[in-house]
Structure 1
């Protein structure tokens, strides 16, 4: 367990001051530490934020969740718990931020079955429709995906360029992949004026298998982890989800079948514009590059290992290359 678990005695009593509580086993997230707490014979999820220590970001996330739970959703979302003093977040003496949520039962789906992927797309479309109706009296802290200079405070475009063309010795083996990524990053910058004209609204920003729960029959039960919720391109929600279906070790027919299943589910609630559809391949590449920059910044912050960064460099280069290779087929697919 990570060092943040030492804060439990400080955090949990602020939510449950008079109850006995205990830690129960459960999975943790990739960006933050997740601890499962049993109190009052009920299970809760304690989330300790490690991506940042910015109260405004967490407050915005929780404000959106508290507004969204009032909407008619067909699936569950995290419900922030409130401390004795009426807050939804706790700041430890060391500066770490934490929040407690009601536990939602379910399992992370594999997302290989087409019916389940359709269900995922349908839930994503419903979420998009409801987020469009949510208003909170706070400004989002996270910038849109296309604002690449804001992905991580330590990763400006100039720093990424220098890293890509002059990688440190322990990254030299990935020089080819880094050049692919940076070349596409430059190409993307030319498309930003067109991208900015597309429909914008609140988006979850990180819809993937690790952030959804399903039952044993594959039905989507919940959408989790709204940490990156912000005002962004509406179609970016689709690009994020679809990017995970792209794997150069998989048959392209299977990949397109999965993309089609997701889009059909999504389309049952949301009809994308022609411009959004045209931009989708480019935004899938953007998502992969953004994730690489995110984890490079975490590596420079001393949070993630070099192996983690290398994994995301390879993944970004692979997905960027796949889209470039299949761009004609991708557009005819619609």
Structure 2
């Protein structure tokens, strides 16, 4: 942990005890320090454990209010696992804007949650992947029953507006051309972006849409063995293509296994778990390769924007570019196999 982290934690600890009903002395332990959020476990003298989340990727309080309203609706859906429950501040608010001397965190939005039981799954575990896929389908069935008009706040933009949804710089093509990459990799990335943006409007014209989680991977799932105990991190939830939901874990869940051959059993388990509860239309199955490409190129565009803001290093951008290239090459080699596998999910129902 560097000096800034120590200063931030010290300031946060003082801010937490004065803002929420925390009995001092309190201790904050980092859980994650991702680009979207800072997450800390908060423990006080009572022994109670809570989770503090500080939003780093935006300061739009309307979006966080929308997330709170969506979670309240999901808690009423009687799901067989938990979703986060926010704790009100001393003033009765669910969302708090930090007022700290630390210039990095001052003004950031923060929410305090009850800590949910469970640990993150092993991305290589087939039984856990199957259970997670089933849980995702149950989430989507519950989300489909929510009337957007009943939710306060506003959701973020759908993938249809790719550049807006990831806050990509307007000169993204020029930036890609300047990245220190082999020429054939740069050409592949530019082609990938062009194909995705050209074909997305067609998908949005006819595929089913509904509320989705929109960022479902192993880090958003809590489990006890093969049982899902909680689903977290709904900050990106919005109305979007229904099939875009399943495309996310298919693109990222077995991240370290792609190209080894071991990814297929995990992908099979995810898809079987999901389609056991929520069948796919044939045209949704056919959209999966494009949406997996969307996930990888969208992540690159987002990281490029964050690099310009000083939030990630150039090394991170290069890693993301290589990831997008490798995922594209995997799809070129395996697209037919992926589609055949997804079609079998429907035949097995």
TM-score, length-normalised on structure 1? 0.91
Q: Work out which of the residue numbers 187, 194, 197 in structure 2 matches 1:179.
A: 187
Match of 1:103 in 2: 115
Q: Work out which of the residue numbers 128, 133, 141 in structure 2 matches 1:121.
A: 133
Match of 1:188 in 2: 196
Match of 1:211 in 2: 220
1:209-251: CA deviations, max 9, x gaps?
1111112x23222111111111111111100011023557533
Q: Which piece of structure 1 moves more, 284-293 or 146-155?
A: 146-155
Uncovered stretches (5+) of structure 2, i.e. residues with no partner? 100-105, 344-349
For residue 207 of structure 2, give the secondary structure of its aligned residue in structure 1.
Answer: coil
Q: Which piece of structure 1 moves more, 258-267 or 297-306?
A: 297-306
1:96-145: CA deviations, max 9, x gaps?
11110001132211221211110110111111111111233336331111
Change (3 A) 1:95 1:190: same
State whether residues 65 and 80 of structure 1, in contact with CA within 8 Å, keep that contact through their aligned partners in structure 2: no
Change (3 A) 1:140 1:232: farther
Change (3 A) 1:249 1:35: closer
Uncovered stretches (5+) of structure 1, i.e. residues with no partner? none
Map 1:1-334 → 2, pairs under 5 A: 1=1, 2=5, 4-5=8-9, 6-16=11-21, 19-30=23-34, 31-39=36-44, 40-93=46-99, 94-135=106-147, 136-138=150-152, 140-156=154-170, 159-165=171-177, 167=178, 171-173=179-181, 175-196=183-204, 197-215=206-224, 217-244=225-252, 245=254, 250-252=259-261, 254-333=262-341, 334=343
C-alpha deviation, 1:78, in angstroms:
1.1
Match of 2:347 in 1: none
In structure 2, distance between residues paired with 1:43 and 1:184: 44
State whether residues 292 and 313 of structure 1, in contact with CA within 8 Å, keep that contact through their aligned partners in structure 2: yes
State whether residues 211 and 224 of structure 1, in contact with CA within 8 Å, keep that contact through their aligned partners in structure 2: yes
In structure 1, distance between residues paired with 2:8 and 2:28: 16
In structure 2, distance between residues paired with 1:320 and 1:172: 19
In structure 1, distance between residues paired with 2:182 and 2:21: 49
Change (3 A) 1:314 1:109: same
TM-score, length-normalised on structure 2? 0.87
Change (3 A) 1:21 1:201: farther
Change (3 A) 1:312 1:10: same
In structure 2, distance between residues paired with 1:131 and 1:249: 30
In structure 1, distance between residues paired with 2:70 and 2:25: 28
In structure 1, distance between residues paired with 2:183 and 2:17: 46
